[in-house]
């Protein structure tokens, strides 16, 4: 006779699905510009184009950040639109809602904070150029995270706080040890989730 799936099985499958879903949409999309990083005095300048996703809004205090920008050259972080989005280097970045990642406080993060007087709504394909100089090149993969606001389809207001974590090209001490691209990681998580669900299902009907 069949039995109900154990709560632990449901939690594992839902948890893996949630992790995968968290990387499918990024409120702010950072893309390393073609030809970047470029050699400059003291290292390599990484310059990113930033765009705002559809049905997403930047409100004062929202931010996007590059985590553990190794080899950061002090004072080099920049924003091409500092009156709208301020640039700073910080030890750690507060994880956005429902997001988690390793953040080494000994390696600076690049933090870009929205300070505009009015909201900016996506899709917006050009928020400006952002980046910094690192002593390291060529690029590897680093974590990008963002906290933005998403539109509530029930009331039309942008009152849902949205957190996202993804990967972007950036400086890496060891490019051979770079984590797998998000698509590969998500495929693996999906496979693990399905295997776990199948095993639990067999247990339930044993």
Residues 74-131: tens digit of each pLDDT: 999 999 999 999 999 999 999 998 888 999 999 999 999 999 988 899 899 899 999 9
- Domain interval for residue 95: 26-180
Does this model's pTM top 0.85? no
Give the residue from 173, 29, 152 showing the smallest Cα distance to 107: 173
Does residue 95 sit within a domain? Answer: yes
Given a contact cutoff of 8 angstroms between Cβ atoms, the answer to whether 204 and 8 are in contact is no
Given a contact cutoff of 8 angstroms between Cβ atoms, the answer to whether 81 and 130 are in contact is no
Mean of the per-residue pLDDT values of the chain:
80
DSSP-assigned letter for residue 72: B
Does residue 44 sit within a domain? Answer: yes
Does residue 57 sit within a domain? Answer: yes
Does residue 55 sit within a domain? Answer: yes
* Tokens 């972007």 -> residue: 168
How many domains, the chain?
A: 1
DSSP-assigned letter for residue 178: P
Given a contact cutoff of 8 angstroms between Cβ atoms, the answer to whether 131 and 45 are in contact is yes
Does residue 129 sit within a domain? Answer: yes
Task: CATH number of the domain at 156, please.
Answer: 2.60.40
Does residue 1 sit within a domain? Answer: no
Given a contact cutoff of 8 angstroms between Cβ atoms, the answer to whether 133 and 40 are in contact is yes
Task: Round to whole Å and give the CA distance between 99 and 23.
Answer: 10
Q: What's the pLDDT at 55?
A: 85
Collapsing DSSP to helix, strand or coil, 133 comes out as strand
Residues 3-44: tens digit of each pLDDT: 444 444 433 333 333 333 344 467 999 999 999 999 999 999
Q: What's the pLDDT at 138?
A: 78
Q: Can you read off the two tokens belonging to residue 151?
A: 């539109």
The number of helix segments (H) and strand segments (E) in the chain equals 2, 12
């Amino acid at each position: 006779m069949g039995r109900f799936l154990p709560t632990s099985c449901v939690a594992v499958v839902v948890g893996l699905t949630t992790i995968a879903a968290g990387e499918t949409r990024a409120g702010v999309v950072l893309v390393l510009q073609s030809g970047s990083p470029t050699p400059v005095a003291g290292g390599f300048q990484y310059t990113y184009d930033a765009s705002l996703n559809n049905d997403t809004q930047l409100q004062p205090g929202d931010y996007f950040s590059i985590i553990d920008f190794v080899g950061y050259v002090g004072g080099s972080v920049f924003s091409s639109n500092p009156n709208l989005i301020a640039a700073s280097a910080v030890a750690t970045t507060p994880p956005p809602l429902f997001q988690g990642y390793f953040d080494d406080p000994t390696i600076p993060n690049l933090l870009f904070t929205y300070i505009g007087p009015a909201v900016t709504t996506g899709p917006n394909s050009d928020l400006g150029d952002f980046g910094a100089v690192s002593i390291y090149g060529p690029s590897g993969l680093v974590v990008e995270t963002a906290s933005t606001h998403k539109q509530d389809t029930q009331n039309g207001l942008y009152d849902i706080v949205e957190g996202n974590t993804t990967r972007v090209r950036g400086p890496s001490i060891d490019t051979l040890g770079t984590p797998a691209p998000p698509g590969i990681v998500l495929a693996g998580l999906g496979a693990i989730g399905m295997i776990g669900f199948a095993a639990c299902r067999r247990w339930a009907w044993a």
